[in-house]
Structure 1
């Protein structure tokens, strides 16, 4: 689960047509550059963009696989750096080793808390959590609902959207975090612990989630929790340094992300092929996993219900504020970021025109 000024590229009337042509031309499954650290300049003085991503079905993977950003910004050195959780993405931004990154709404709220908030802003919505994040318990464990997790061992990546949703699910069921044994594990470690039966249940995302479902029973999903008032999203954030240094690059990046969202709707088979190549899974599995997420169209991303527009932040700001308050109530952070701090952490320049 961060915004952009409008530059000359964003104002060109043929931008969308050019991007669509780039997307159509990129038919081969290719992988992006593996990342490293460094500053704003790459080899030979070329401009550099360091992008953090998750191995999770999304438009991000489509942009990476089809090299859409590399084609749109040929003068840039693009580095794609894989992360396992939002906590590590936050650390990377603190260490100034990322320019753009995928980040869940819960770790984003964490990043804005405290006396020294992370210098980044949300610029795009990658997806809204649906059935692609869920709580699963072992079959035959005697766990039939969230309330029956009392006294059991439950794993989730701490400081992630799954962690947030797990806490919300426990609260709704009248169970406190101290009533269960919470274990901090990354997705692959969750799978190993699950296979050894070291844990009774886990809240995690795809593709690990699908592997747990083969021998587990789903208790609740992020889609259900979202409907009850605690939605989670995969956002894309950009560093304050990039905003001040190279807003045009953010414009172009946001344009190709918007085009990827259109492609997921208009060409689900082609999108599944690209996602399958990135995740090393079958096209059918990729198609199934894509169907479990909620992908907005670009016009929805910049709507009042979600990101909003320049000068008029959308409801997403309220969701992030509520998330921070919940995390503070749960003693996950010392204090929630203020409503103004959240609003200030939205980069909406150029919206909605920049993604039409």
Structure 2
């Protein structure tokens, strides 16, 4: 396994994601593709096998019940780079997306045609950096010269770069390897890598034989938070804003259920991930889930008229990625603001 080159361009990242996207959307027929621009009552939703309101909404069929006349297709993805490519190919209407790949998506002269419309969660202990115990590494500085795997263009990739920077290491001081979660686990078990930054559920498997060096919760507390967002396509905004309003209400209901019915939420997550309720409860407890009222507050996404602190978080993420040579030019605050869809946002919590 050879190390991935440092500082991949956005074009290379998107090209690398193409195969994954093609596989993910194979279930969509040519009729599906044409419906994206034809205004048919159809929603194609990208999600991750990761504890969130999305999995609860999918399991409880909240959106299907709220939109009985719509054909709703759920498409599973493994990385934010693949989600970005799918939106460029107009293969998705709504999707989960980390704040780092979102910052990448809105950079450059041809930004990805989507806008952020909701917040799923704030990264906590559900994303972390671990070293294999057999390496004897106990801190981030000890990773110098070591092989570290992470999914490139992901929130974990961003947090890894932030962790290295805080420890006085440049990306060139380590061997960064671009791997998706399942291949990370396989490489870890073979001893091909020394460390990895990844999310649940793969993270819990690594913890069995690894030493945790830091987490996204700690990195966020130090000033570089990452979030799991929900984005909607520009096409959907133009043709069916009412469907977005209904979807937001379903997302808000899912967040409320996580707080008001934790046992029921655990059962839904366990069913979607095909794991025990014990494991689902442990995984769910590691994320930071906002209330719908917090989502639409000035501290996070904002209100109909004014974006919240998420605007600053994403702008700062873009600047950091540019400094780290991960993107060519950081998106301006104005460019990021254009990628916020806030119309009707407060209606979701009524």
Counterpart in the other structure of 2:290:
296
Inter-partner Cα distance in structure 1 for 2:171 and 2:251: 37
Counterpart in the other structure of 1:138:
132
Inter-partner Cα distance in structure 2 for 1:191 and 1:164: 20
Q: Is 2:69 the partner of 1:75?
A: yes
Counterpart in the other structure of 1:217:
211
Aligned CA distance change for structure 1 residues 98 and 74 (closer, same or farther; 3 Å): same
Which segments of 5 or more consecutive residues in structure 2 lack a partner in the other structure? Answer: 1-24
Counterpart in the other structure of 2:183:
189
Inter-partner Cα distance in structure 1 for 2:53 and 2:347: 19
Counterpart in the other structure of 1:36:
28
What is the CA-CA distance between 1:175 and the residue it aligns to? 0.6
Inter-partner Cα distance in structure 2 for 1:214 and 1:264: 27
- Superposed counterparts of 1:72-111, under 5 Å: 72-111=66-105
Counterpart in the other structure of 2:247:
253
Q: Give the SS at the match of 1:312.
A: coil
Counterpart in the other structure of 1:59:
53
Q: Is 2:226 the partner of 1:226?
A: no
CA contact (8 A) 1:40 1:48 kept: no
CA contact (8 A) 2:33 2:91 kept: yes
1:66-91 Cα deviation digits (max 9, x unpaired): 11111100000000000000000000
Q: Is 2:149 the partner of 1:155?
A: yes
Q: Is 2:332 the partner of 1:338?
A: yes
Q: Give the SS at the match of 2:284.
A: helix
Inter-partner Cα distance in structure 1 for 2:35 and 2:66: 18
What is the CA-CA distance between 1:140 and the residue it aligns to? 2.7
Q: Give the SS at the match of 1:336.
A: coil
**Given the two structures, how large is their TM-score scaled by the length of structure 1?**
0.89
CA RMSD after TM alignment: 1.4
Q: Give the SS at the match of 1:217.
A: strand
Q: Give the SS at the match of 1:230.
A: coil
Select the residue among 113, 116, 123 that pairs with 1:122: 116
Aligned CA distance change for structure 1 residues 161 and 141 (closer, same or farther; 3 Å): same
What is the CA-CA distance between 1:344 and the residue it aligns to? 1.0
Counterpart in the other structure of 1:286:
280
